[in-house]
């Protein structure tokens, strides 16, 4: 009897284990329904923006060049100095060319001979005129010739001085040896040193730049925009300039010019954009600063919007999932919607029937 009892008990235990195993495997094989977070539409102001990379430049950067060739004997300014129109920037020592010097010396010699001859003629005419043997017309003519010979000698000597020293006796203050600023502004660069050879600008040579001067209160942003966005820009659009070297900077600017022709850079077409910068007194900005221009391409004020993550795109259509029931599990209906402006994070919702109280399916909640 006991033997039979234990046999039955063993079968009961084996059956219980079998049933338990079956139930365990069944429950684990059954997939639980996903649970989603809920998102609600909100009222947003959506802006579609683009960023232009570029740098800060003076509107007009002037290269100061010498009017004569020679050697820099003195430099009176350095980068960062403020100069006024007409201020002396440098002095040049003239190194005359042998041909020019020889020609100037020869001209002086000829003028001296001509003067001596004119003096002898005049003295002879004067003596005869005083004795009533020569006419007054002849006397006055020879006197004029003498004065002309004197002037010609003065001019020859002055020309010789210019060739030798670059300085005119008649205009020493305005001498070509004095390099003066042609504008009022800040010296950006002095690329020469004392002792450097410089040449004047002519039809065959641009000449040596003594200094670069610019008005740092009149600045522009010069940047580039991709061809895919250039048609969204317009002259007169407001932009905000951010300078990486100045924390928290946001200088207002207005687009002045958009290049009509593209530049090919590594296979990408870009267009140059120039914007007038309102930098106030400009004391914190320096020429060549790297900067970004933030441009608002499109704007939608106070519109109903949903996160891009809740929108499902299929071809040219967009859908959201609207919560219909949450008991015993969440049930959503797929609804086609019409979208508007997007900034990549949220998208404008133009469909009727959805309000800021409509629960939409969000991301799966991981337990």
Give 294-321 pLDDT, tens digit per residue: 998 888 999 999 999 899 999 889 999 9
User: 367: pLDDT confidence band, cut at 50, 70 and 90?
Assistant: low
Q: Which is more confident, 184 or 171?
A: 184
Whether residue 29 is predicted with pLDDT greater than 60 in this model: the reply is: no
Q: What pLDDT, in 10s, does the model give residues 318-349?
A: 999 999 988 878 889 999 999 999 888 999 99
Please indicate, yes or no, whether the overall pTM of this predicted structure exceeds 0.75: no
Cα separation of 43 and 222, whole Å?
36
Distance CA 9, CA 330 (A): 45
- The CA distance from 56 to 243, in Å, is 9
Would the pLDDT of 174 be above 50?
A: no
**Sheet with strand 70-75: strands edge to edge:** 178-180, 88-93, 70-75, 197-198
Above pLDDT 70, what percent of the chain? Answer: 84
* 3 vs 266 pLDDT, higher one: 266
Task: Say if residue 21's pLDDT is above 80.
Answer: no
76 confidence band (pLDDT: 50, 70, 90): very high
pLDDT of residue 9: 64
Whether the CB-CB separation of 312 and 318 falls below 8 Å is answered with yes
110-150 pLDDT per residue, tens: 888 888 888 888 888 888 888 888 888 888 888 898 889 88
Specify the higher pLDDT residue, 168 or 236: 236
pLDDT at 173 over 60: no
CB 107 within 8 A of CB 144: no
Angle between helices 98-130 and 136-165 (to 10 degrees): 160
213, two tokens: 């001067």
* Residue indicated by tokens 């079968």: 11
Instruction: Report residue 10's pLDDT band, with 50, 70 and 90 as the boundaries.
Output: low
What's the pLDDT tens digit per position in 212-244?
Answer: 999 888 899 999 998 988 988 999 999 999 998
At residue 25 the predicted structure's pLDDT band, cuts being 50, 70 and 90, is low
Rounded to whole angstroms, how far apart are CA atoms 232 and 297?
6
Q: Tokens 């077409």 identify what position?
A: 269
Specify whether the CB–CB gap between 311 and 318 falls below 8 A: yes
pLDDT at residue 78 is higher than 90: yes
**CB neighbours (10 Å) of residue 20?**
10
What would the mean pLDDT of 27-41 be, rounded to a whole number? 72
pLDDT for 165: 63
In 3D, which of 163, 175, 167, 151 has the Cα closest to residue 102? 163
Segment 257-262 shows an average pLDDT of 93
């Amino acid at each position: 009897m006991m033997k039979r009892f234990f046999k039955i008990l063993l079968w009961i235990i084996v059956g219980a284990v079998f049933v338990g195993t079956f139930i365990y495997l069944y429950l684990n094989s059954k997939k639980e329904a996903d649970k989603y977070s809920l998102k609600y539409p909100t009222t947003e102001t959506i802006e579609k923006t683009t960023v232009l990379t570029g740098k800060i430049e003076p509107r007009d950067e002037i290269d100061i060049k010498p009017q004569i060739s020679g050697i820099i004997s003195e430099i009176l300014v350095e980068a960062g100095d403020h100069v006024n129109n007409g201020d002396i920037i440098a002095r040049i020592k003239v190194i005359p060319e042998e041909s020019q010097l020889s020609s100037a010396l020869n001209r002086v010699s000829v003028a001296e001979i001509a003067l001596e001859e004119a003096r002898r003629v005049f003295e002879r005419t004067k003596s005869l005129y005083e004795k009533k043997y020569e006419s007054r017309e002849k006397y006055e003519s020879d006197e004029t010739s003498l004065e002309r010979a004197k002037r010609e000698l003065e001019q020859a000597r002055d020309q010789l001085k210019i060739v030798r020293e670059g300085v005119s006796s008649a205009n020493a203050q305005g001498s070509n040896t004095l390099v003066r600023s042609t504008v009022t502004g800040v010296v950006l660069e002095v690329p020469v040193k004392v002792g450097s050879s410089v040449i004047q600008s002519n039809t065959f040579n641009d000449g040596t730049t003594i200094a670069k001067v610019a008005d740092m209160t009149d600045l522009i942003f010069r940047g580039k925009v991709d061809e895919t966005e250039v048609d969204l820009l317009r002259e007169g659009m407001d932009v905000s300039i951010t300078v990486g070297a100045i924390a928290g900077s946001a200088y207002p600017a207005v687009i002045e010019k958009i290049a009509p022709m593209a530049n090919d850079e590594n296979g990408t077409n870009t267009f140059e954009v120039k914007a007038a910068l309102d930098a106030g007194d400009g004391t914190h900005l320096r020429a060549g600063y790297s900067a970004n221009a933030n441009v608002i391409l499109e704007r939608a004020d106070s519109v109903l919007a949903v996160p891009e993550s809740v929108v499902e795109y299929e071809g040219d259509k967009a859908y959201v999932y609207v919560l219909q029931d949450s008991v015993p599990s969440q049930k959503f209906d797929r609804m086609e919607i019409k979208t508007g402006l997007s900034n990549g994070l949220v998208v404008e919702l133009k469909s009727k029937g959805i309000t800021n109280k409509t629960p939409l399916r969000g991301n799966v909640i991981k337990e």
